């Protein structure tokens, strides 16, 4: 086993990049080889705080000047394909933030580039590593509450995208809710239920008072293998500043209810009068889950361990988002295997 630190070149020092900096800083055996941000003021501010870390304003220069084992890409998604080309040309594995791209054909190209270069590609679906997500997955797979029949996933938030610490591009992009936020939720539905999505019927829209230029509401009916039906609703333009979250799964012999974003899981058998809360490991959301994702990526690069959040797997979640958008545009349900075949996406990874 290698005792050398695993060296990561981090690209992007914005809202999420600052979190990643802390995650890497806390991880034994993982070190930053350098950082890149095209914004000179951001790069200079980082350099002042971290005088020992090489700081660059161009990816090409950073790739040439640093010795790295992998790149962590935390830039807005519209630049991911061009940046990935440079990273793979330099022969480096890549952990890229979600969404992999804002265009499905670009994402297919990016995953192909990694495959051709035989380089690992992972995507930042960190919420899969929350203890609450792992536990839902185990409960469903374990079958102690019977067969899952239907689920209801509700995420209601009034997200003020103008706040200084939040990224600004979602205010003007197309489908900010679907591609920035619902993508995590649809990925969790795939991951926790561990069965393929067969079809999606969706509406996306923008309430009149929305701060976003494009649709900040998503409602989907998903049909999963085995007759499991899931009703999803998400908004960034709720009429109340209090965040409301609930993910309830009804099974043949009970229910599983996640009552808070990131935590608070409870179960009941059909005849119970109360829900019973389940104990979960402590977790600081965005940090501990990202650290687990990072360790999984490093384990894959170093030892060939299973890559749970691979680029090829992410293509299926991204395809689900774009199939949902197509459904909203046509008013018809979209059959996911047919949609993936049409876009050259493999459903088994
Ligand atoms: N997984 C999660 O929980 C999570 C949470 C927040 C954001 N994200 C994702 O992280 C990514 C970045 O989001 P953010 O909130 O940090 O955005 P941001 O706008 O706050 O920061 C992006 C940074 O990238 C820099 N940048 C832009 N183009 C660059 C380039 N070509 N080379 C180097 N630097 C460049 C910008 O100057 C900026 O500092 C997005 O894909 C977003 O969806 C993921």
CB 180 within 8 Å of CB 99: yes
Query: Which atom of ligand 1 has the smallest separation from the CA of 16?
Result: 16
Residue 275's pLDDT is: 98
Same domain? For 81 and 211 the reply is no
Given a cut of 60, whether residue 12 has pLDDT beyond it is yes
Test site for ligand 1: of 10, 15, 125, most ligand atoms within 8 A of the Cβ: 15
CA of 291 to the centre of ligand 1 (A): 18
Residue 10 lies in a domain: yes
Ligand 1 pocket, Cβ-based, cut-off 6 angstroms? 11-17, 36-39, 42, 59, 74-77, 79, 83, 97-98, 124, 126, 167, 169, 180, 286
Please report where in the chains the tokens 């649809």 appear, as a residue.
186
Residue 72 lies in a domain: yes
Residue 325 lies in a domain: yes
Confidence of residue 2 (pLDDT cuts 50, 70, 90): low
User: Rg (Cα) of the chain, in Å, rounded?
Assistant: 20
Same domain? For 53 and 11 the reply is yes
- Residue-wise pLDDT for 21-30, tens only, equals 999 999 999 9
Which domain range does residue 72 map to? Answer: 6-119
In whole angstroms, give the CA distance from residue 203 to residue 217.
8
Residue 347's pLDDT is: 92
CA of 86 to the centre of ligand 1 (A): 17
Among the candidates 67, 95, 119, a domain finishes at 119
Same domain? For 252 and 324 the reply is yes
Question: Cα dihedral angle (329, 334, 336, 339), rounded to 10 degrees?
Answer: -60
Mean pLDDT over the full length of the chain: 97
Same domain? For 90 and 10 the reply is yes
Residue 311 lies in a domain: no
Given a cut of 80, whether residue 108 has pLDDT beyond it is yes
Q: Give me the mean pLDDT over the 31-39 stretch.
A: 98
- Residue-wise pLDDT for 67-96, tens only, equals 999 999 999 999 999 999 999 999 999 999
Among the candidates 119, 150, 185, a domain finishes at 119
In whole angstroms, give the CA distance from residue 57 to residue 40.
6
Confidence of residue 127 (pLDDT cuts 50, 70, 90): very high
Residue 93 lies in a domain: yes
Please report where in the chains the tokens 């960190």 appear, as a residue.
126
Same domain? For 109 and 133 the reply is no
The CATH number that applies at residue 39 is 3.40.50.720
- Residue-wise pLDDT for 276-314, tens only, equals 999 999 999 999 999 999 999 999 999 999 999 999 999
Domain count within the chain: 2
Among the candidates 98, 119, 140, a domain finishes at 119
Residue 349's pLDDT is: 81
Q: Give me the mean pLDDT over the 132-152 stretch.
A: 98
Residues 6+ apart with CB under 8 A from 15: 165, 166, 167
Same domain? For 47 and 70 the reply is yes
Same domain? For 78 and 167 the reply is no
In whole angstroms, give the CA distance from residue 276 to residue 296.
32
Same domain? For 92 and 228 the reply is no
Residue 301 lies in a domain: no
Query: Which atom of ligand 1 has the smallest separation from the CA of 286?
Result: 3
The total of other beta-carbon atoms located within 10 Å of residue 346's CB is 12
- Residue-wise pLDDT for 165-221, tens only, equals 999 999 999 999 999 999 999 999 999 999 999 999 999 999 999 999 999 999 999
List residues bridging with 232 in a β-sheet: 153, 220
Same domain? For 173 and 322 the reply is yes
The CATH number that applies at residue 167 is 3.30.360.10
Residue 202's pLDDT is: 99
Confidence of residue 4 (pLDDT cuts 50, 70, 90): confident
Same domain? For 103 and 166 the reply is no
């Amino acid at each position: 086993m290698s005792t050398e630190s695993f060296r990561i070149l981090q690209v992007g020092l914005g809202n999420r990049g600052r979190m990643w900096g802390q995650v890497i800083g806390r991880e034994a055996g993982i070190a930053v080889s350098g950082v890149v941000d095209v914004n000179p003021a951001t790069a200079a501010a980082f350099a002042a705080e971290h005088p020992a870390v090489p700081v660059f304003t161009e990816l090409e220069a950073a790739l040439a000047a640093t010795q790295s084992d992998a790149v962590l890409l935390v830039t807005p998604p519209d630049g991911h394909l061009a940046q990935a080309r440079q990273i793979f040309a330099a022969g480096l594995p890549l952990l890229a933030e979600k969404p992999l791209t804002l265009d499905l054909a670009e994402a297919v190209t990016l995953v192909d580039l990694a495959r051709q270069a035989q380089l690992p590609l992972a995507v930042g679906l960190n919420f899969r590593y929350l203890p609450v997500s792992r536990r839902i997955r185990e409960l469903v797979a374990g079958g102690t509450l019977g067969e899952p029949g239907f689920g209801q996933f509700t995420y209601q938030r009034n997200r003020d995208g103008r706040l200084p610490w939040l990224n600004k591009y979602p205010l003007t992009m197309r489908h900010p809710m679907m591609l920035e936020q619902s993508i995590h939720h649809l990925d969790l539905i795939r991951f926790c239920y561990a069965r393929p999505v067969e079809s999606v019927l969706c509406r996306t829209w923008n309430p009149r008072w929305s701060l976003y230029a494009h649709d900040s509401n998503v409602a989907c009916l998903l049909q999963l293998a085995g007759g499991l039906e899931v009703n999803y609703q998400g908004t960034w333009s709720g009429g109340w500043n209090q965040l409301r979250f609930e993910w309830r799964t009804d099974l043949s012999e009970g229910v599983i209810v996640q009552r808070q974003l990131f935590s608070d899981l409870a179960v009941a058998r059909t005849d119970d009068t109360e829900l019973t809360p389940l104990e979960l490991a402590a977790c600081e959301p965005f940090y501990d889950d990202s650290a687990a994702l990072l360790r999984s990526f490093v384990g894959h690069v170093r030892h060939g361990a299973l890559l749970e959040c691979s680029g090829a797997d992410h293509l299926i979640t991204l395809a689900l988002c774009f199939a949902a958008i197509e459904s909203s545009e046509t008013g018809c349900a979209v059959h996911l295997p047919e949609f993936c075949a049409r876009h050259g996406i493999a459903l088994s990874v």
